[in-house]
């Protein structure tokens, strides 16, 4: 059995697949801002397009480690799971400490910023996706505070993991802890809107309901299970963390 316990280069075909999946996600917001505020495009239609690009791009990127790529033929399922989980964690922690932290700092001004170009990074989601981000109810503030703390703890785990070349069990424990918080906070986020009958989501729109509110948030309800599965495999072994 090959030694997967240290960080190894990502095969070129996997790297290309992830760049192709994530590049549109990165470009979607600046292009959307330019379209709405410079070219006069409809803000709701643009927000819908961003939601599709974002949701499908993340799905492709997170699932890419399980594709039948030539560079992955020798990879075990566990190594594929770690690659997918690690990408999810890095993107998730970065989101917590950028989009969500920014919203926390500006939530009390969000209604006043509706027509401000740089605030469209939040309003592209608020428009039809979830009006709670415009009004900032207590339960949403709580969820987002948990997310920011999760981001801080998660990046601490990433630093430990990289410095130890994938051999520090403390990093694995932090990854698993953040996965549990993801499952709790995302479940609470979905249920707190679904149980009252989706009062803050435009349920007449397929994109707003199933893509913007649903699919865009679904990775935080599915990918943590991969993190937990991989983590328990590592901790059950007598050796050091696997990669």
- List pLDDT tens digits, range 126-183: 988 899 999 999 999 999 999 999 999 999 999 999 998 888 899 999 999 999 999 9
pLDDT number for residue 235: 87
CA 217 to chain CA centroid, Å, is 7
Fill in the DSSP letter of residue 72: G
> What is the distance between the alpha carbons of residues 238 and 243, in angstroms, rounded to a whole number?
15
Indicate if the pLDDT at residue 4 is higher than 70.
no
pLDDT for 100-124, tens place per residue?
Answer: 999 999 999 999 999 999 999 999 9
- Across residues 83-111, what is the average pLDDT? 96
Indicate if the pLDDT at residue 240 is higher than 60.
no
pLDDT number for residue 175: 96
> What is the distance between the alpha carbons of residues 37 and 80, in angstroms, rounded to a whole number?
41
Q: Where are the domains of the chain?
A: 77-236
- Across residues 37-45, what is the average pLDDT? 94
Interior angle at CA 85, CA 83 and CA 91, nearest 5: 105
Distances (CA, A) of 176 to 43, 130, 172, 180: 38, 28, 6, 6
- Answer yes or no: are the C-beta atoms of 50 and 28 closer than 8 Å: yes
pTM (two decimals): 0.91
> What is the distance between the alpha carbons of residues 48 and 64, in angstroms, rounded to a whole number?
24
In angstroms and rounded to an integer, the radius of gyration of the C-alpha atoms of the chain is 19
pLDDT number for residue 42: 94
> What is the distance between the alpha carbons of residues 161 and 89, in angstroms, rounded to a whole number?
12
pLDDT bin (cut points 50, 70, 90) of residue 9 is confident
- Answer yes or no: are the C-beta atoms of 87 and 18 closer than 8 Å: yes
Number of residues assigned to the chain: 243
Indicate if the pLDDT at residue 5 is higher than 80.
no
């Amino acid at each position: 059995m090959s030694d997967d316990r240290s960080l190894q280069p990502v095969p070129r075909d996997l790297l290309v697949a992830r760049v192709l999946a994530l590049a549109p996600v990165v470009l979607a917001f600046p292009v959307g801002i330019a379209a709405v505020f410079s070219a006069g495009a409809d803000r709701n239609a643009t927000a819908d397009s961003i939601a599709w690009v974002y949701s499908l791009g993340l799905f492709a990127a997170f699932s890419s480690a399980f594709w039948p790529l030539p560079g992955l033929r020798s990879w075990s399922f566990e190594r594929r799971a770690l690659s997918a989980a690690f990408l999810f964690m890095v993107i998730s922690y970065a989101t917590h400490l950028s989009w969500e932290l920014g919203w926390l700092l500006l939530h009390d001004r969000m209604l006043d910023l509706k027509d401000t170009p740089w605030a469209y990074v939040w309003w592209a989601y608020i428009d039809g996706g979830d009006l709670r981000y415009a009004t900032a109810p207590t339960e949403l503030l709580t969820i987002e505070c948990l997310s920011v703390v999760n981001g801080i703890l998660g990046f601490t785990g990433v630093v430990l993991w990289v410095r130890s070349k994938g051999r520090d069990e403390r990093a694995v424990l932090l990854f698993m802890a953040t996965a549990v918080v993801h499952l709790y906070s995302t479940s609470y986020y979905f249920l707190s809107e679904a149980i009252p009958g989706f009062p803050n989501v435009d349920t007449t729109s397929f994109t707003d309901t199933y893509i913007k509110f649903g699919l865009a948030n679904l990775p935080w309800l599915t990918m943590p299970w991969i993190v937990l599965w991989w983590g328990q495999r590592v901790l059950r072994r007598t050796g050091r963390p696997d990669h």
